[in-house]
Homo-oligomer: A and B are copies of this chain.
Amino acid sequence: MISNKAKYALRALLAIAAQPEGEALTSTEIARRHAIPHKFLEQILLDLKKSGILESRRGKAGGYVMLRPADTISFGEVLRIFDGPLAPLPCLSRNAYRRCEDCENEARCMIRREFARSYEASRQVLDSRTIGDALNEGQELPLAAQNRRVG
């Protein structure tokens, strides 16, 4: 399970990236729209800023804007910021490798070998799919499916 923090971060990013070019979105507005505790969200947005994903403007008419284009920000990158390494075992993380202290022979470890398969499969998805991708696909079936039910 991913953390609330990561989920909130993704929600916020999707909202900010969906804004018209150059228009800022405030933390208050994001919190209101998505029912996220405001002060908690502030911390999250700050982390995203420190990671070089968002830019902020202070004062009245301030808010947050994308610093990098949405289609360069993968789900994996965001997850790593808030939930740490994606790898199921420390010895499988390229970014944050750590040997399993009790493992005698890494190359022959059967557990490592099996998890490497599953990790590779999910990493492939998480590191290739971006905020931009999600946003584009979200618009493909806009309200049609909904309205058809009502009508």
Contacts and interface: CB of A to CB of B under 8 A. Distances in A.
A137 interface: yes
How many chain A residues sit at the interface, stated as a range, is 35 or more
A7 B145 CA distance: 44
Give the 8 A-B residue pairs with the shortest CB-CB distance, closest first.
A121-B121, A118-B125, A122-B122, A110-B134, A118-B122, A35-B102, A110-B138, A117-B125
B118 A134 contact: no
A85 B35 CA distance: 25
Contact of A115 (B2, B35, B89): B2
A145 to B, nearest CB: 8
Q: How many copies does the complex hold?
A: 2
Chain A interface SS verdict (over half): helix
Nearest to A33: B104
A84 interface: yes
A122 B118 CA distance: 5
Interface in A87-124: 87-90, 100, 102, 105, 107-108, 110-111, 113-115, 117-119, 121-122, 124
